[in-house]
Structure formats: C-alpha cells, structure tokens
Amino acid sequence: MTAVWLPRDAGLAAASHPPATAVSAVTDSIWTFVFETLNFAALAGVLAWLFFKPVRAALQEEQARAERLQQEAVDKADKADQLLREQDAKRQSLGDELDAMRDAARAAAKLEAEQLLRDARARIEHERANLRREAVNIERSQVAKLAEAVAEATHLAVQKLLGQIGGPDLDRALLSAGCRELQQFSDGSLAGVTVESAKALSDEEQAQLRGALGDEPPQLRLAPELIAGVRISTSRGLIDASVAGLSEYARQLLVTEMDSLLSDEGPAEEHPDA
C-alpha cells in the first residue's frame, strides 16, 4: 500500500469539502431512513388497525357491559329501596291499623263492660225492688192477719161488753136509734118491713116501731144471735141497731182503718229513697 502524503491544508480542505459522492450517499441514507420510518409507521398503523380494533371493540363492549351491569345494579338498588320504602309504608299502615283495632277493641270492651255493669245494677235494683215488694206484701199480709185478729177480738169484746151491760135500757136505746135511722129515709113507701130482735118486743116498743114506720105493719122475728137491739130490713135498706151489728161494724171499721194505714205506708216502704 503506497502512502500518499497530503499537505495539512489540503486535508482540512478535503474535510471541509467532501466529495460529491459522499454527500449523495448521506442524502440517500436520510431519505431511506425517512422512507423506512414512514413505512414502519404505516405498517404499525395498519397492524394497529388490524390487531387492536377487535381488542378495542372487546374493551368497549366490556366497558359497555360493565356500565350496563352497573346501571342494572343501580336500578335494582333503586327498586330494592322502593320495595323497602313500600314495605316500611305497609308496615306503618298495618301498625296504624293494629293500633286502631286495639283502640276500637278496648273501647268496645269498655262499653260492653259498662253495659254489663249497668245491666247487673239494673238486675240488682230489680231484685231489690222485688224483695222490697215481697217484704211489704208479707208485712201487709201479717199486718192484715193481725188486724183481722184484733178486729175479731174487738168484735167479741164489744159483744161481751154490751152483753154484760145489756138490759131494758140498752134495748130501748138501740130501738130508739133504729127508729131514728128509719125515720130519716122513711117516706111512707117502705114495704115488706121485717124487724128482728134478740128478745120479744113489748107493746110499747112495737108502738114505737109503728110510729116510725107509719101505717105499714112490720113483720116481727126473734134472732137471739143479735144479743140485744133490733135489725130492721126494708125495701130501702138495712138498719142494724143490735149488739152483734155494732160489734161487726167496729170490726169492719178497724179492718178498714188498718188497710188505709197500710195503703198510706206502702209507697214509702216500696220506695225508701223517695
């Protein structure tokens, strides 16, 4: 290999001014690099478009499905919340209805208890009134029996007393009383007069009777049960002026007075609160 000596200045000049072939080669290399870069970019774009499009679609579909699932989950959560609210509302409504039913049941039970109490009190008052009436009736019956016994005793006592004090004076007094009663309603129209006496009437007593009766002759009859006095039967009524009649009148009067007293005391006994 032969060495070529070049001056220093000539080397610098050669370095500063490369040959035209070298410049052309560098230029071609740049364009080649650019072209290859563009080809690589185009190839990369085509490959990306070919290979990444399905992946992108799958990713988008997966994202859409995830969003759909999320939306469905949100909808289900909303529905669940709605159902919970409805259940709470129904539970509250049922609670209110149960409270209302309990209140109504309590009120009905209270009214029924009050009605039962009123009915029981009414029955008690009715029974008490019945017992009072029965007691009053029993008392009246006992008092009536007692009054009858007292009246009968009085009747017998009067008969005995008048019989003991009997005599002509008593007979005349009773006959005079009968004649006076006869004269009060005697107007001459008496017919069928019957005079009963305990003893046979004397002529004077018969004349006294005729004077009271007028022209009508009486029919005389003995009645020893009269004890004393006379009993005159006329078409206008009966005049009893005998000891038996007076004692019977006393008995009847006593019974009537006792009945009147019982009638006056009856309402007070039956209604003590009045």
User: Do residues 197 and 229 touch, judged by C-beta distance below 8 A?
Assistant: yes
Q: What is the mean pLDDT of residues 250-270?
A: 67
On average, the pLDDT of the chain sits at: 76
pLDDT of residue 126: 92
pLDDT of residue 43: 79
pLDDT of residue 264: 65
Provide the whole-model pTM: 0.39
| Residue 208 predicted with pLDDT over 50 | yes
Sequence spans of domains, the chain: 42-274
User: Do residues 166 and 228 touch, judged by C-beta distance below 8 A?
Assistant: yes
Angle, vertex CA 74, rays to CA 69 and CA 76, nearest 5: 90
pLDDT of residue 31: 81
| Residue 235 predicted with pLDDT over 80 | no
SS3 272: coil
| Residue 219 predicted with pLDDT over 50 | yes
- Per 3-state DSSP, the chain is made up of helix, strand and coil in percentages (nearest 5) of 80, 5, 15
Which tens digit of pLDDT belongs to each residue from 167-189? 667 778 888 888 888 777 655 56
User: Quick count: other Cβ atoms within 10 Å of Cβ 9?
Assistant: 8
Number of Cα atoms under 13 Å in the Cβ half of residue 144: 11
Measured CA to CA, the distance from residue 122 to residue 11 in angstroms comes to 150
Per the model's pLDDT, the better-predicted residue between 82 and 170 turns out to be 82
| Residue 148 predicted with pLDDT over 60 | yes
Measured CA to CA, the distance from residue 92 to residue 99 in angstroms comes to 10
| Residue 2 predicted with pLDDT over 60 | no
Per the model's pLDDT, the better-predicted residue between 10 and 71 turns out to be 71
Intra-chain end-to-end CA distance of the chain, in Å: 169
| Residue 20 predicted with pLDDT over 80 | no
| Residue 54 predicted with pLDDT over 80 | no
Number of residues written out for the chain: 274
